[in-house]
Amino acid sequence: MMNITRITFLIAASIALIFLAGCGGQEQVAPPSSAETAQTTTTTASTLTDEQIEDIVRRSYQYVALYNVIVKSAMDPNNPAATGWNKCFVDRQLKDHNLKVIARPNNDTLYISCSLDLRKEAVILDIPAFSSKYASLMTFTYDHYVNVPLTTRKGDFQKPEKVLFYTERTKGYKGEPVEGIDRIMEVDGDFYGAVFRVMPHASEPDKFKKILEEMQSLKLFTLSEYKGGKAIPIDDVVFPGYGQTDADVYGNNLLEVMQFIFNHLTFDPKDKMDQAVLAAYKPLGVEPGKVYDASNVAKIDGSRFRNISQQVQKENFAKLATGDFSDYAPRILRPKGETDLKAIVLVSVVGPIGLPMEEASYPAVPTVDGKPMNAQNDYVIRMTKDQLPPAQAFWSLTLYDTQNGFFIPNDRKKYSVGENAGMKLNADGGIEIYIAAEKPEGVPEENWLPINRKDENLDVILRIYVPDLEAYKNWSVPKAEMVK
């Protein structure tokens, strides 16, 4: 039996659509070329031991991963959500195989992705009511702590609500009441993500249309705009370069990136993880409030940082392969103070950004024989009525290639089975889901996930929204069986 302590934590939601580095006038740093990526920082000899570097790498991973995802997503010219700061991007359709910005996206909810620059003034989201059976607002910044301030699980989204966001560094606003604002949130990061997931009821055309209209009615205002004025310009920020991989940041410009992050986050003097990362960087010349100057920071050996970061990544992907996640489930994707270094490094490596387990769980589907699924074979996943996922909202099952975590391209644009992408229960209330190059005879179209016949390993991820956690303790994840 596989319970919640063995969830694979592939964060399907991943919202690389979220962040947006720069609006008009901002200097945008291009991604490194392949030649630049192949090189590492030129350094002098370092006195840091491998153990000290590994400690710095682990304490930095949550920040490096989130910075890389956020900025890379924003600067990718193929990312339609890269619209600039203090703007929102609203999905109009479910994701398809053309999405290459982030690994293991989901195909069962729509998103509203808002990027907030809170340096110059507070920002307000005017949030509509949603007709969906499931919606949530997830918020986060470079430190990768996840908060879910609004969710249908708690009865939210039944009526419109205006929420104001600010940080301790926001100019001209210190948390005082504002007429007409329903909720005021002081947050940790100047560059902040607010991401809505909305189950669109895609199989119900009229309801789908209504939900789209509701989503498109969401509005974002700066505090100046809300009061009838003009937004204060925010075109004075320069973002350090990002890497094609996290290892690139460790190898090329780690100290510059961390200095930028330190200057735009709030660190809690009582939080041990916060203080430990500050202590790790102080001897290197990186501290909150400083201006980055390469001549005044340590000359670290970028190749050593790159190599050790790759070792940390390999170690955590090995946990993914074995499914050995005992004790991790309650500690991933949590607010500050509710997680620990091992848990946050794991999720930062495997797939940044997602919902905590009370909102959604993400178990991987193993095979009966324990071998990886491969597109040279066909598979079937069977569940009786009593074996269906214990979802109090809804569930879905999604297919990816293992190497990249992308949807399998197909003309039908069919990547998942579930209430939105389509599914058909059998006469007994159970379901058989086929992963096959050709649709097997007698199998409903809704229950067929196409593959391309080649030597390509496959992953299948379940998403269970608002799981019944008591039932989940005794529920077993279904297994894929090779069709002979």
Q: What distance in Å separates the CA atoms of residue 182 and residue 371, rounded to the nearest whole number? A: 52
| Cα of 116 vs its chain's centroid, Å | 16
Q: Name the phi and psi angles at 344, rounded to 5.
A: -75, -30
Stretch among 84-93, 371-380, 381-390 having the lowest mean pLDDT: 84-93
Q: With 50 as the cut, is the pLDDT of residue 23 above it?
A: no
Report pLDDT digits (tens) over 419-466: 988 999 999 999 999 999 999 999 999 999 999 999 999 999 999 999
Q: With 90 as the cut, is the pLDDT of residue 383 above it?
A: yes
Counted residue by residue, the chain has a size of 484
Q: With 50 as the cut, is the pLDDT of residue 32 above it?
A: no
115 vs 17 pLDDT, higher one: 115
Q: How confident is the model at residue 202 (pLDDT cuts 50, 70, 90)?
A: confident
Task: Retrieve residue 233's tokens.
Answer: 């310009």
Q: With 80 as the cut, is the pLDDT of residue 55 above it?
A: yes
Stretch among 41-45, 125-129, 368-372 having the lowest mean pLDDT: 41-45
Q: How confident is the model at residue 324 (pLDDT cuts 50, 70, 90)?
A: low
21-26: average pLDDT: 32
**Sign of dihedral through CA atoms 263, 264, 268, 273?**
negative
Report pLDDT digits (tens) over 205-236: 999 999 999 999 999 999 999 999 999 999 88
Q: How confident is the model at residue 8 (pLDDT cuts 50, 70, 90)?
A: very low
Q: With 50 as the cut, is the pLDDT of residue 7 above it?
A: no
Q: With 60 as the cut, is the pLDDT of residue 134 above it?
A: yes
Q: Name the phi and psi angles at 473, rounded to 5.
A: -60, -30
Q: With 80 as the cut, is the pLDDT of residue 101 above it?
A: no
Q: With 90 as the cut, is the pLDDT of residue 64 above it?
A: yes
Q: With 60 as the cut, is the pLDDT of residue 151 above it?
A: yes
Domains contained in the chain, CATH given: 1-358 (2.60.40.1610), 363-483 (2.60.120.600)
| Average pLDDT over all residues of the chain | 86
* pLDDT at residue 82, as a whole number: 61
406-429: average pLDDT: 93
Q: With 70 as the cut, is the pLDDT of residue 321 above it?
A: no
CB neighbours (10 Å) of residue 173? 17
401-415: average pLDDT: 90
Q: What distance in Å separates the CA atoms of residue 343 and residue 478, rounded to the nearest whole number? A: 25
Whose CA is closest to 158, among 193, 182, 190, 122?
182
